[in-house]
Amino acid sequence: MTGGARPRRLAVISVHTSPLAQPGTGDAGGMNVYVWQTAQRLARRGVEVEIFTRATSSADRPVVEAAPGVLVRHIEAGPFDGLDKRDLPGQLCAFSANVLRVEAAQSPGYYDVIHSHYWLSGQVGWLARDRWRVPLVHTAHTLAAVKNASLAGGDTAEPMGRLIGEQQVVAEADRLVANTRTEAAELVDLYGASPAKIDVVPPGADLDAYSPGSRAAARAELGLDPGDTVVTFVGRLQPLKAPDVLLAAMAPLLRADATGTLRLLIVGGPSGTGLEHPAALAELADAMGVADRVTFLPPQPAATLAQVYRASDLVAVPSFSESFGLVAVEAQACGIPVIAADVGGLGVAVRDGVTGRLVDGHDIATWTAELADLLADPARLQRYGAAAVTHAQGYSWEHTTDALLASYGAAMGNFPAGPIRRGVLGRRTRGLLKNRPRMAG
Ligand code: UDP
């Protein structure tokens, strides 16, 4: 990564997730945390940050100073509430128009760089880039081609419209920020991205909020029994995150536990297709005869979530796909070992046999055996937990912010002075789309 230029003012586009929303339910998750954590740190480094997100309540003021140097601009596009994420592509024109109007009301050259998060924002950013003549840096966060290759049962495939939209943004963006080398390779192999414009920038954890602490105090605060063994899931409750896989894998262990001290703690709210039947997990626990051994908590703010991690013996991240997995890093930063599916960024976030366990696939019996193995060996859990703290120190938002600044600098340094060239679709992407309706490129 090169580039010494530094933006004075950055336009962050985050159409479908407001950094002000509580993560862990609905559409709010790791991306919100990413945008919010990096925005504050960029502002502390002297960059003025303006975040454009869709207004989802009539109470949303058009401009909110969310932190010193960080403005959140609520953009009207479609109804405030009740708009499904799947209907958002139809509102992109309205969203884009209102973003362009905000800029048009400012002095010329108001923004120096645009950073778009998720493909919907990339579509808006691409247009703004052409109009404002400033570079577009894009982070995909998740990729439909990757998600569709490892769908959870009960999840629906991402539509072709998203695949097409993603590849357009990949072609048009001046730089692409990938969470891991795996994601960088996916951008190249599946979407035909030019490797030269990809920066690998790992996300982080808020190491001030997530740090080791007293398990006994955390349990007392959360009303958990000090003598229990607690396995914890944290995240949006939807098939992709596989809380049902964890529940099914834990059920035989919970039933066989004669001491009655093993407990499963599930923290988060319904999201995605999980919204269609929010009571599904509780019903599953009931059907498996373990309802009294499973505790559900609604989404928690970071301070309480840190206590949730500290109260746990083991945190499980069984997702079907995960571009990074912030929960895994946060738990480790609190000194808690993690058992995770060996998918996407989790293979980087967790060090197998050092800070936790990486499990291949989602076979329930395999997960039960791996969980039983770990829970039977408290000394190993303690060893992994100690190593986890050190491992997590390598992932801080400060580091992410430094790397983003380098990426912005490179984008500014390479931005063409002349006419903006049309994005070029990669060969492989054309292959992906070849049986689809004809499109330019
Ligand atoms: N989160 C939270 N409160 C909750 C559950 C989750 O603040 O009750 C946050 C969590 O701290 C993490 C993010 O939501 O930073 C989830 O990010 P992750 O990368 O694990 O999953 P994603 O939501 O991006 O799929």
How many angstroms is it from 322 CA to the middle of ligand 1? 12
Q: What is the pLDDT of residue 417?
A: 81
The Cα–Cα gap between 371 and 369 comes to: 5
How many angstroms is it from 427 CA to the middle of ligand 1? 35
Distances (CA, A) of 182 to 72, 134, 200, 205, 306: 32, 28, 9, 20, 28
The Cα–Cα gap between 426 and 119 comes to: 17
Convert the pLDDT of each residue in 299-349 to its tens digit: 999 999 999 999 999 999 999 999 899 999 999 999 999 999 999 999 999
418 is in an annotated binding site: no
Q: How confident is the model at residue 4 (pLDDT cuts 50, 70, 90)?
A: confident
**Contact, 319 vs 343, CB < 8 A?**
yes
80 by Cβ neighbours in 10 Å (0-12 / 13-18 / 19+) ranks as middle
Of the candidates 433, 397, 229, 217, the residue with the CA atom closest to the CA atom of residue 324:
397
The secondary structure of residue 141, as a DSSP letter, is S
Q: What is the pLDDT of residue 433?
A: 56
Q: How confident is the model at residue 425 (pLDDT cuts 50, 70, 90)?
A: low
Average pLDDT over residues 48-68: 97
Q: Provide the mean pLDDT of the chain.
A: 93
142 by Cβ neighbours in 10 Å (0-12 / 13-18 / 19+) ranks as buried
The Cα–Cα gap between 138 and 390 comes to: 30
Among the atoms of ligand 1, which is closest to the Cα of residue 302? Answer: 7
The yes-or-no verdict on residue 1 having pLDDT over 50 is no
ipTM: 0.99
Convert the pLDDT of each residue in 150-194 to its tens digit: 888 778 899 999 999 999 999 999 999 999 999 999 999 999 999
Convert the pLDDT of each residue in 346-397 to its tens digit: 999 999 999 999 999 999 999 999 999 999 999 999 999 999 999 999 999 9
Token reading at 115: 């950073």
**Helical H runs in 302-396?**
302-310, 326-333, 346-349, 364-375, 378-393
Residue the block writes with tokens 């999201």: 271
Convert the pLDDT of each residue in 114-144 to its tens digit: 999 999 999 999 999 999 999 999 999 999 9
361 is in an annotated binding site: no
Which residue CA neighbors atom 11 of ligand 1 most closely?
327
Residue the block writes with tokens 């998720």: 118
Those residues whose C-beta lies under 8 Å from the C-beta of residue 118, and which sit 6 or more positions away, are 14, 15, 16, 17, 31, 139, 140, 141, 142
390 is in an annotated binding site: no
Residue the block writes with tokens 């090169």: 2
Q: Say how far residue 395 (Cα) sits from the centre of its chain.
A: 14
Convert the pLDDT of each residue in 230-268 to its tens digit: 999 999 999 999 999 999 999 999 999 999 999 999 999
Convert the pLDDT of each residue in 205-216 to its tens digit: 999 999 999 999
Pocket test for ligand 1, best of 32, 222, 326 (most atoms within 8 A of CB): 326
Number of Cβ within 10 Å of residue 156's Cβ equals 11
How many angstroms is it from 113 CA to the middle of ligand 1? 27
The strand pairing partners of 10, in sequence order, are 49, 113
Among the atoms of ligand 1, which is closest to the Cα of residue 22? Answer: 7
Of the candidates 60, 170, 158, the residue with the CA atom closest to the CA atom of residue 125:
170
28 is in an annotated binding site: yes
Q: How confident is the model at residue 2 (pLDDT cuts 50, 70, 90)?
A: very low
Contacts from 371-378 at CB under 8 Å and sequence distance 24+?
Answer: 371/231, 371/249, 371/250, 371/253, 371/314, 371/316, 371/339, 372/253, 374/314, 374/337, 374/339, 375/229, 375/231, 375/253, 375/262, 375/313, 375/314, 378/313
The yes-or-no verdict on residue 436 having pLDDT over 50 is no
**Contact, 42 vs 404, CB < 8 A?**
yes
For the chain, give the number of residues. Answer: 441
Q: How confident is the model at residue 440 (pLDDT cuts 50, 70, 90)?
A: very low
Q: What is the pLDDT of residue 93?
A: 98
The Cα–Cα gap between 436 and 424 comes to: 18
How many angstroms is it from 423 CA to the middle of ligand 1? 33
Average pLDDT over residues 48-66: 96
Q: How confident is the model at residue 428 (pLDDT cuts 50, 70, 90)?
A: low
How many angstroms is it from 24 CA to the middle of ligand 1? 5
**Contact, 435 vs 165, CB < 8 A?**
no
